[in-house]
Structure 1
Amino acid sequence: MSLPVTNSLHTEEDTPKVAILVETTIPPVSRANLRMYWLARALRAEGAVLANMVAPSQDLSSRRSYFTEGIWMNQYPGFGRQLYGRFRLPVRIWHFLASILSVVLLELTYRRGGARGFCAVHAWNPLAGMAAVVAGALIRRPVFLDFTDFYSDIARTDMPLLAKPLVWLENLVLSRARRVFVVSESMREHLVSRKGLDPDKVVVVPDGTDAQTFRPGLDGGAVRRKLGLSEDTPLIVFHGDIKHDDGVDVLMRALALVLKSRPDARLLVLGGGGPYFQNEIRPLVESLGIAHAVLTPGWIPHQEVPAYLNACDIGAMTMRATLNHDNYLSFKLFEYWGCGLPVVVTRLKAIGRIVRDGENGLVCASEDAPAYAAAFLRLMADRETARRLGAAGRELVERQFDWRMIMKAEVAQYTPEVLELSRR
């Protein structure tokens, strides 16, 4: 698998290509692209293939192709800015169709130019996965799927009308993929026992983080000054999207209990801002009388997140125990740990195999606000325990959960047999 790494279209004629379908532009601004971005980087580092990332532009008027970090980026006219807005369903349907067309046109371009084409189509999540299945059938190439979440389970509370169609979509994509990459052994067990997948086709490749970017020692003091906080203010952080199953309402109730003992404590919410946050969480915050203690700067640029996390004392993951949460891993866990934060998490199957209560984090029962509050207060009072737990998490990230190591397992699936498909 030792092929030369290529950096321009003028030197890649004899190099196999892989089409990687993603949801938003590169560099990534959200979890939707981060895993695939690191896959593309790993493919480039190994010299196995040229990664063609296929993604929507931010708005319909822009369409361009360019190299970034050795990755050949192909943006089709899209509506990336509206991906999570009111019209997200028609937007995603358009992106679904446009990504299929883009893969087919790229393959035709390679063939007409006498270059080796795609050896596989690789995608993340069910909708992009379905686009990969269709595109793969049209160009007669295998599909690799990163299946990190049960979106049908997420839709159960967020978009109930789509829950059953998503189950059908997940089953179809899983059955058609040559390789399915999952993030935990419990997810693999579920797909084999409940979905009937061949155990040999399901490969565990966990989520992780960039340990060089998410690291301790960054200037959190500047962030605290920006937020108007003193160095001594106890600061809990929740980072990421906010949906019902994320248990942010439970976190708010836990915060209200914490404030009874530590009125100086604060909660930083990085992310959120969607309809659920505005319609459910903000009214709850007001009714609990804790608005003064909740800081909501909203989404910030991804490259600024590590400094914000370094400004915090505790990472919170008060998720509800659901089918999806029991089987998946969360980026925020590894980002908290990467920055050396102690974490307070829900007792879940997959995460429970990584977070050990009292060893590298504190674990509470789902929806148990008093238990979460007690854990937060314990870490605020016992700084040595907080430091020890955070350091243990950081060591685990360095050893097992850095993207640079993790993605080698996916690259290994691009065997010589798969690479040779690009000659057909």
Structure 2
Amino acid sequence: MTSFRKTAAQNVPDGFDLGSHPKVAIIVETTIPPVSRANLRMYWLAREIIAQKKALVNMIAPSRDLGSRASYFTEWIWMNQYPGFGKSLYGALRLPVRIWHFLASIISIVVLEAWYRRSGARGFCAVHAWNPLAGMAAVVAGWLIRRPVFLDFTDFYSDIARTDMPLLAKPLVWMENLVLGRARNVFVVSDVMREHLIVNKGLPPEKVVVVPDGTDAQTFRPGLDGAAVRRKLGIADETPLIIFHGDIKHDDGVDVLLNVLAEVVKTRPDTRLLILGGGGPYFDGVIKPMIESLGLAQHIVSPGWIPHNEVPAYVNACDVGAMTLRATLNHDNYLSFKLFEYWACGLPVVVTRLKAIGRIVKDGENGLVCPSEDVAAYAAAFLRLIEDRELARRMGAAGRELVEREYDWRAIMKKEVALYTPEVLDLSSR
């Protein structure tokens, strides 16, 4: 602990003390600065805990590979890396990788707590995690060190696994139920999800708190140099450009979007689709062959994954944001980062008619809403926004205004941090 104190002393913000302040352990799946949806939410949680000077934050995460392991400070988040395989998180060996990360997260928290206690410093007051597997690690670690667990439950992973990893669907239902039952508080992203957990999972209403997803409205904003991105990608300024941003799985409906694009280019052959992200077995095994079979290669621009800080300029380069999601249990309950990032950059959106998203996307006001997998309806919606630039501008502006008012992380996370009451903070021990 002595070496930690020496290393950290230069970074301690005003009003903090390493020994006397409680700690919060936050389990994440990749390193900070954030590069994934999970980390973004947890990153903003950590920032708000620190901004309110309630506690110091230990983020527990795998290293990208064994050679890159390091512990470091960023914005006074102490990133505690264990030897891991973060770059293989979505690869063919993801199951054994995740199992090791699960075990290593637990070990890391127990070791850190023992370290704090031995040095006479206050230890952890709580363990916080996102998604079922990290949540399960938090439950085990919390039980071992006798601390409460907070869970951000933003997706039904058991429902996602139904098509991605069907053999894991039932075990994930069991894991979700266990973690939901053991957590002190469960933070969900929509009223629809809260209602589902209360009615179908039997959770007490006071246990389930709605804290929506959002975005950083200062980073994702209109007016960035989208023209430079178009030049880099070889796309003319006047070319209609639709964007899909994020991971690609069956339920995300990118195959539906390709069929929609095939219809759109019959009317507007100059239209292009920017696929920002993708990768993985589904993208390589299903989406790429489908692009060829539909003859869409010249209409698709796919630079793959790019650094997160470059994403806003790419979104600014586009005209319409696409969310042709399939209507599933998970999609009916969740909110999408894509939606808020598109809106924050002033883009109009075309989305699927879903329960939770449908409560904030108002058809004809801040987006166009279509039935799930209705290719003709989606195509008509995209063409409407491509042809009517004033309508597209008004819808994008309405989305931007809504993000500024209700879905910026800086305001959103205050509600979650409010659950770190003096009673919880006092659970940390010397």
Alignment gaps of 5+ in structure 2: 1-10
1:231-380 map, 5 Å: 231-380=237-386
- 1:240–1:271 Cα contact (<8 Å) kept: yes
Q: Deviations over 1:29-52 (max 9, x none)?
A: 111211001100011111111011
Among candidates 151, 161, 171, match of residue 155 of structure 1: 161
DSSP 3-state at the match of 2:186: strand
DSSP 3-state at the match of 2:202: coil
DSSP 3-state at the match of 1:174: helix
Partner in structure 2 of residue 389 of structure 1: 395
Normalised to the residue count of structure 1, the TM-score between the two structures is: 0.98
Q: Distance in 2 between matches of 1:232 and 1:354?
A: 30
Q: Distance in 2 between matches of 1:327 and 1:50?
A: 32
Shift of residue 133, structure 1, vs aligned partner: 0.2
DSSP 3-state at the match of 1:14: coil
- 1:239–1:271 Cα contact (<8 Å) kept: yes
Partner in structure 2 of residue 197 of structure 1: 203
Q: Post-superposition, which runs of at least 4 consecutive aligned residues in structure 1 deviate over 2 A?
A: 5-11, 61-64
- Does the alignment pair 1:180 with 2:189? no
Q: Deviations over 1:122-164 (max 9, x none)?
A: 0000000000000000000000000000000000000000000
- Does the alignment pair 1:65 with 2:65? no
Identity %: 78
Alignment gaps of 5+ in structure 1: none
Q: Distance in 1 between matches of 2:32 and 2:380?
A: 41
- 1:8–1:67 Cα contact (<8 Å) kept: no
Among candidates 404, 407, 414, match of residue 401 of structure 1: 407
- Does the alignment pair 1:14 with 2:20? yes
Partner in structure 2 of residue 168 of structure 1: 174
Q: Distance in 1 between matches of 2:427 and 2:346?
A: 44
Q: Distance in 1 between matches of 2:294 and 2:343?
A: 30
Shift of residue 11, structure 1, vs aligned partner: 2.7
Normalised to the residue count of structure 2, the TM-score between the two structures is: 0.96
Q: Deviations over 1:249-308 (max 9, x none)?
A: 110000000000000000000011111111111111111111110111111110000000
Q: Deviations over 1:354-380 (max 9, x none)?
A: 000001100000000111110000001
1:49-128 map, 5 Å: 49-128=55-134
DSSP 3-state at the match of 2:350: strand
Q: Residues 10 and 262 of structure 1: is their aligned pair in 2 closer, same or farther, counting only changes over 3 Å?
A: closer
1:220-231 map, 5 Å: 220-231=226-237
- CA RMSD in angstroms comes to 1.3
Matched AA of 2:203: L
DSSP 3-state at the match of 1:388: helix
Q: Distance in 2 between matches of 1:251 and 1:369?
A: 8
Q: Distance in 1 between matches of 2:358 and 2:193?
A: 13
